[in-house]
Amino acid sequence: MSKGEVVVLDFWVSPFCMRVKIALEEKGVEYEGREEDLFGGKSELLLKSNPIYQKVPVLLHNGKPLCESTTIVSYIDEVWPSPPLLPPCAYGRAQARFWADFIDKKVFDAVGKIWRSKGKVAESAKEEFLEILKQLEGALGEKDYFGGDSFGFVDVIAIPLTSWFHAVEKFGGFKVEDECPKFSAWMKKCMQKESVAKIIPDPEKVYEFVIMMRKMQGIE
Amino acid sequence: MSGNDTTTLRWLLKKMRIRNDEQVNLIIFLQLYSLFLQPLTFFFSSEFLETMEDEVILLDFWPSMFGSRVRIALAEKGVKYEYKEEDLVNNKKSDLLLQMNPVHKTIPVLVHNGKPICESSIIVQYIDEVWKDKAPLLPSDPYQRAQAKFWVDYIDKKVNSPGRKTWCTKGEEQEAGKKEFVEIMKTLEEQLGEKPYFGGETFGFVDICLITYYCWFYSYEKFGKFSLEAECPKLIEWAKRCAQKESVFKTLPDEKKVFGFCIEMRKMFGLD
């Protein structure tokens, strides 16, 4: 399985970094995770490897950098083809890319709006968030995974964001399980996978992190 | 089956000692086959399959730089398609658009044999994968492909908003939009370097996704009061190079027509 040296410039609570690590785990690729101190100061390596955005994750494959989590996951799928994350047919791949793009555009920001605000603003942010989850439930349909019978590209892109749900449920006073049971069932199924369970952090720790962020941004 | 055929067949069956009543059944079967079933085999012949064309429809809006990407990609591949203009000025989205893109309700949408594909950069990748025998748009090497996708994603995230501000806003907001737009173009110019195209020696995915802004530069410059050629001469050289390609110059709307569209929209938004 080894196709060279693989390093991930990482930050434990970043759902974007989790995507890359889950993909590597799925493929059975050995990698070195290097935690970045995003508050204390980004490493020289990060700034050099991602001069445009200066963000994690960065995948370094034999020293060559790749940036932007969705692009990195596509790359991992191409270099280590087994098991495949994207479907074999062009139309299926376009659909997978569409939903990955939808998730990228909508979910993280919606989650952010809930924990970054209070009162009425948080309330309408919660409604927006649940609307998005319902749209994703529509895309999931009766399938086990977004990928169909097996865990695939869209599942990898989506599941890490759910590690932040516990925190926003607490702030928003709601439960995803009650509002979107199908989505919740999909989350549970994914969490049973070894690659996912290994990488997704304890939701309580994420909640503590979000509390800290709120304090830092003067929201409390 | 002709009369001669039937006679010959009966002789043959008699020689094979097949009973008369069975001969009759066989002949009836063969007559029915040659009348009804045999002609249908034509539809499985390569002759027919080659003439049968994919049904490709593009839902679009003429000034859209996103729609243009799809048109250029289809032209590069020599794909015939039906173009359907959406009346977005009057915000009259067709039933077909709302049905084919219920999530975003935006153009462009490619409808291939009845199945919709949405989001321009995703559509271009789809076109490249389906019509793969001609004019490859993405590199074959996975690292180069990832680089191409990174830069298309950068263009998608960064260019439209400040570009729009240069023609669609006033005062400080317009000034800030213009500064940001020039910065982004300089970053792209740096990425281009000494290569003839972003794709290297050949016109590709990144070139397609950026060149469709070229017909808008005139409007940005006129309203924003700046010269992109002065700020990013190499990028403009690249744009002129791309504009010499048939797929590009036949697709991009005239920049003066785009300018007229901007004037109309500014009036509608109460800016002038």
Q: What is the ipTM of this complex?
A: 0.96
Considering only CB atoms, B122 lies closest to which of A64, A72, A101, namely A101
Closest A-chain CA to B132: A90
Inspect the interface and report whether the beta carbons of B125 and A79 lie closer than 8 Å. Answer: no
**Cβ neighbours around B136 below 10 Å, total:** 16
Q: Which residues of A touch B206 (CB under 8 A)?
A: none
pLDDT at A96 > cutoff 60 = yes
If we measure between CA atoms, which residue out of B270, B268, B256 comes closest to residue B63? B256
Which DSSP symbol is given to A59? E
Phi, psi dihedrals of residue A31, rounded to the nearest 5°? -145, 160
Q: What percent of chain A has pLDDT over 90?
A: 92
Q: Are A19 and A8 in contact (CB under 8 A)?
A: no
Inspect the interface and report whether the beta carbons of B150 and A97 lie closer than 8 Å. Answer: no
Tens of pLDDT along A117-176? 988 999 999 999 999 999 999 999 999 999 999 999 999 999 999 999 999 999 999 999
Q: Which residues of B touch A107 (CB under 8 A)?
A: none
Structure tokens at B269: 């938004």
Per-residue model confidence (pLDDT) at position A16? 98
Residue of A58, A66, A106, A131 to mutate when probing chain B, most B C-beta within 10 A: A66
Inspect the interface and report whether the beta carbons of B122 and A98 lie closer than 8 Å. Answer: yes
Phi, psi dihedrals of residue A182, rounded to the nearest 5°? -65, -40
pLDDT at A1 > cutoff 50 = no
Per-residue model confidence (pLDDT) at position B50? 46
Give Cβ neighbours of residue B145 (< 8 Å, ≥ 6 apart).
Answer: A74, A75, A78, B138, B139
Q: Which residues of B touch A75 (CB under 8 A)?
A: 142-143, 145-146
Q: Which residues of B touch A61 (CB under 8 A)?
A: 143
Chain A nearest CA to B117, separation (Å): 7
Interface check for B83 against chain A (CB to CB < 8 A): the answer is: no
Chain B nearest CA to A120, separation (Å): 26
Exposure of B221 by Cβ count < 10 A (0-12 exposed, 13-18 middle, 19+ buried)? buried
Per-residue model confidence (pLDDT) at position B56? 98
Q: Give the pLDDT band (50/70/90) at residue A194.
A: very high
Around B270, how many Cα atoms within 13 Å sit in the side-chain half-sphere? 0
Q: Which residues of A touch B153 (CB under 8 A)?
A: 68, 70-71
Around B156, how many Cα atoms within 13 Å sit in the side-chain half-sphere? 19
Per-residue model confidence (pLDDT) at position B234? 98
Per-residue model confidence (pLDDT) at position B29? 85
Considering only CB atoms, A71 lies closest to which of B119, B126, B149, namely B149
Interface check for A66 against chain B (CB to CB < 8 A): the answer is: yes
Tens of pLDDT along A31-72? 999 999 999 999 999 999 999 999 999 999 999 999 999 999
Q: Which residues of A touch B142 (CB under 8 A)?
A: 75, 78-79
Q: CA-CA distance, A183 to A134, in Å (whole number)?
A: 8
Inspect the interface and report whether the beta carbons of B125 and A61 lie closer than 8 Å. Answer: no
Q: CA-CA distance, A1 to A115, in Å (whole number)?
A: 41
Q: Which residues of B touch A64 (CB under 8 A)?
A: 143
Per-residue model confidence (pLDDT) at position B258? 98
Q: Which residues of A touch B130 (CB under 8 A)?
A: 90
Helices (H), chain A: 15-27, 44-49, 69-79, 90-115, 119-140, 153-158, 165-172, 176-179, 181-191, 194-199, 203-216
Interface A:B, Cβ pairs < 8 A: 53
Per-residue model confidence (pLDDT) at position B16? 85
Residue of A59, A69, A73, A75 to mutate when probing chain B, most B C-beta within 10 A: A75
Residues of chain B with pLDDT under 50: 47, 50-51
